[in-house]
Structure 1
Amino acid sequence: MKMHDTCNMIEETQDSAVLDDVDLALINCLQLDPRASWRTVGDALKVDPVTVARRWQRLQDSGTAWVSARATGHGRPESCLAFVEVDCTTSNALAIAERLARWPQVLSVEHTSGPGDLTLLVEVRDMAFLSRFLLRSLASVPGIVSSRAHLVTEVFAIGDDWKLQVLDATQRAVMTDRPVRYKYAPTDQRHHGKTFDAVDRQLILKLGEDGRSSIAELTVGTGLSESTVRRRLAELTSRNQIVFRCDVSLPLSGWPLVTWVWGYVDPTDRSTIRALVERVSGTRVCMRISGGRANTLLAIAAHSLRETPITEVQLAQEAPGLVVLNRSVVLRSMKRVGRLLDDEGKSAGVVPMDIWAEAPEIE
């Protein structure tokens, strides 16, 4: 039976909590090109474009998968991305996590095992702002005992690039053998010649709610003219100042476990970094960080806790230049890149990633 026949048979009855092979393939297509047309995706999957669009709508409406967008680098060379470990009193941990998840500068919030109770991904306009954020906003939240910030100095792999890897070579070729205008660019290749203005910010924040919004929808949602939306979106993408990504509930995708590995790699050892990115299966994040003994931070996805020993062996074999200093397991992700998540890892709401907003004031 052909894939499109199977789709038509189960389309109306499928439980939104179940991801079948077609769902996973569809998500994988949008991970390769988040704003691809339904005709292109349908060609890759050999499924009618209308069926593909209907399936995506179901996945999106149920919070199982979504496409978002965010600014990269603020258009300023001194802007900074940081991982922040937060220690808090046990009785306040959940309330603190929920409170921080509502802050626009906090892109992600995770409850983790290990030394820190919570791990935050924070993006702010500059280091002076980060200082105010840590010393004034974060330190004033009742129940927070301490925090440690680690600045990201170089990005080798990021969650934007992580793929399900369920497409075959022919399907991937359909999605990639064509210009992809919405591709993440490494930190050192981003264009900083033009800073964002109010129109750029308005457009980016709207795309943060739905990265697949059409030009017509963006025109209505922002109040901008169609010509302005088209021109500004083209400019932002050509300068690599906006990144689109397709996310999925990790528990429902079959990759429920994420482990953070804090390590040290000799700054001149590029072969170890290449091995971590290219040969260690499940690598979602690989970044150079500064601010402590560890200078390399990894996030490795796995199918279950039973894979942890296998990952340890793989790290030792493929990347002997990595000295592992600490590990922590993500017990629950409360927010991922602007999306509030429920216990199943589904999208339960959007917090605009307004990285230009003022630091939160504590009452």
Structure 2
Amino acid sequence: MTQDSAARADELDLAIVNCLQLQPRASWTLVGRALDIDPVTVARRWQRLSSAGIAWVSGRATGQGRPESCLAVVELSCSAAETLAIARRVTELPHVLSVEHTSGPRSLTILVEVRDLAFLSRFLLESVGTIPGVVATSSHAVTKVYSMGDHWQLHVLDPAQQAVMLRGQQPRLDGLTSEQADLARGYDAVDRQLILLLGEDGRMPVATMAARAGLSESTVRRRVAGLVGNGRVVLRCDMALPDSGRPVISWLWASADAGDIDAVAMTLRRLPGIRVCWRISGGGPNLMLALTTHSLHELSQVEARLAAEVPQMTIHDRSMVLRSIKRMGRELDLDGRSIRSVPLDIWADAGDRPPR
């Protein structure tokens, strides 16, 4: 990808991104109708945004078709001199969704998709633990997802524009928060092939997918509709956070009583700036939150609001994201822009080694 470092997102660009956050594979005609602009203009602007790595649409499987599969947060303590090299190697691992360089005692924080806890053990021992410079690991299983970056929006559309984008559409299942998603079904070879193509480009035309997969267009159209409609694939429109106006991400480790945790999480989901809210297991805290803010100075205001809105929650630890290196299968540059897609072949063996 050739990145245009001079490219910047204006208000219309943000509106286009917001439209695709609602319907990632929406036609340019629909987006143009919502924004009252020519579809050709929409397509041209999206091409500029995606070519510059400012915004992109990607797809990934929701789990591995097994009841035991889950997300896991892994904290890596690394030798300072080896941290960047470790981050680059971990980025290549097929089970690693995201990699962040973080403040505090943890050097790197990564999010992985695992088929079960035994697989997580093998991943830590064979894939990560053998990388030179990794001093220690700490892991937390995500037992419930209340919100994810998949749900995060810019919120720049007015109600009428949102209505156009959502008119006639079935509610989107994400396979994470919906009990309706069919996650117990396995993925066959064709499913996996199409999911990897959507990971490369979540807006890849059906004709292109069909040609690359060696399938008919009708088969691809039917398969993709089924995967997305049943919540077995998540499509999301992402954006470089500095270009979105909310460049700061911080993680909070918190806890709430077991009887209150669902109510606390639902309150948190409604608060602006909450990008991620997970229930976790594996240590003292049982909640993990990601906040996005316009500046470092805004963090204290957000935490004060959290204390007022959810007094039942106790914050135990905080961590700043110094740099996002990989996000949901996309390697990012220093400006948070997409450089390339990294295949999320989450069905690969746990012992698969990253390139040296």
Compute the displacement of 1:120 (Å). Answer: 0.1
Query: What are the Cα deviations for residues 247-287 of structure 1, in whole angstroms up to 9, with x where unaligned?
Result: 00001111100010000011211332121111x22000001
User: 1:142 and 2:132 equivalent?
Assistant: yes
Q: Does 1:273 align with 2:269?
A: no
Aligned length: 349
1:167 aligns with 2:157: yes
Q: Distance in 2 between matches of 1:155 and 1:181?
A: 18
* Mapping 1:249-260, distance limit 5 Å: 249-260=240-251
After TM superposition, give the deviation of residue 35 of structure 1 in Å: 0.7
Q: Partner residue of 1:282?
A: 273
Equivalent residues in 2 for 1:159-308 (5 A)? 159-180=149-170, 183-185=173-175, 186=177, 188-269=179-260, 270-278=262-270, 280-308=271-299
Distance 1:180 1:34, change over 3 A: farther
Supply the distance in 2 between the matched residues of 1:192 and 1:288 (Cα, whole angstroms).
19
The residue type equivalent to 1:231 in the other structure is: R
Q: Residue 3 of structure 1 aligns with which residue? A: none
Amino acid of the structure 2 residue aligned with 1:80: C
The partner residue of 1:62 within 32, 43, 52 is 52
**Equivalent residues in 2 for 1:15-34 (5 A)?**
17-34=7-24
Tell me which residue corresponds to 1:152. Answer: 142
Aligned to 1:322: 313
**Ranges in structure 1 where 5+ consecutive residues have no aligned partner:** 1-13
The worse-fitting range, judged by mean Cα deviation, of 191-200 and 306-315 is 191-200
Aligned to 2:93: 103
The aligned amino acid for 2:328 is V
Check whether the contact 2:75–2:107 (CA below 8 A) recurs between aligned residues.
Answer: yes
Measured against aligned partners, the alpha-carbon deviations of 1:179-203 in whole angstroms (never above 9, x if no partner) come to 1475424254321342101000000
Structure 1: 4+ residue segments shifted above 3 A: 180-183
With over 3 angstroms needed to count, the CA separation of the structure-2 counterparts of 1:199 and 1:102, relative to structure 1, is same
Alpha-carbon distance between aligned partners in 1 of 2:82 and 2:170, rounded to the nearest angstrom: 45
**1:11 paired residue number:** none
Conserved? CA contact 2:67–2:184, under 8 Å: no
Residue 353 of structure 2: aligned partner: 361
CA distance in 2, matches of 1:301, 1:108: 16
Counterpart of 2:64 in 1: which secondary structure? Answer: helix
Whether the aligned pair in 1 keeps the contact of 2:264 and 2:310 (CA below 8 Å) is yes
Secondary structure (helix, strand or coil) at the match of 2:48 reads helix
Deviation readout 1:53-77 (Å, 9 max, x if unpaired): 1100110111110000000021111
Compute the displacement of 1:226 (Å).
1.4
Matches within 5 A, 1:326-345: 326-345=317-336
**What secondary structure sits across from 1:332 in the alignment?**
strand
Alpha-carbon distance between aligned partners in 2 of 1:341 and 1:37, rounded to the nearest angstrom: 27
In structure 2, the partner of 1:115 is: 105
Cα 1:300–1:291 shift into 2, 3 Å: same
Query: Aligned partners of 2:282 and 2:184: how far apart in 1?
Result: 28
Deviates more, 1:130-139 or 1:147-156: 130-139
User: What amino acid is aligned across from residue 338 of structure 1 in structure 2?
Assistant: G
Aligned residues of 2:101 and 2:322 also touching (Cα < 8 A):
yes
Question: Structure 2 regions of 5+ residues with no counterpart?
Answer: none
TM-score, scaled to structure 1: 0.93
Aligned to 2:79: 89
CA distance in 2: counterparts of 1:194 and 1:170, whole angstroms: 38
Q: CA deviation at 1:322?
A: 0.9
The question of whether the paired residues in 2 share the 8 Å contact of 1:110 and 1:331 is answered with yes
The share of aligned pairs that are identical, in percent, is 54
The structure 1 residue matched to 2:31, chosen from 27, 37, 41, is 41
- Report the more deviating stretch, 232-241 or 179-188: 179-188
* RMSD of aligned Cα (Å): 1.5
More helix by share: 1
* Matched AA of 1:358: D
For the residue of structure 2 that corresponds to 1:281, the secondary structure is coil
Deviations 1:303-330 (A, max 9, x none): 0101011011011011111100000000
Q: CA deviation at 1:217?
A: 1.1
TM-score (norm 2): 0.95
Residue 266 of structure 2 aligns with an amino acid whose one-letter code is R
Whole-Å separation in 1 of the counterparts to 2:134 and 2:38: 52
- What is the one-letter code of the residue matched to 2:219? T
Corresponding residue SS for 1:305: coil
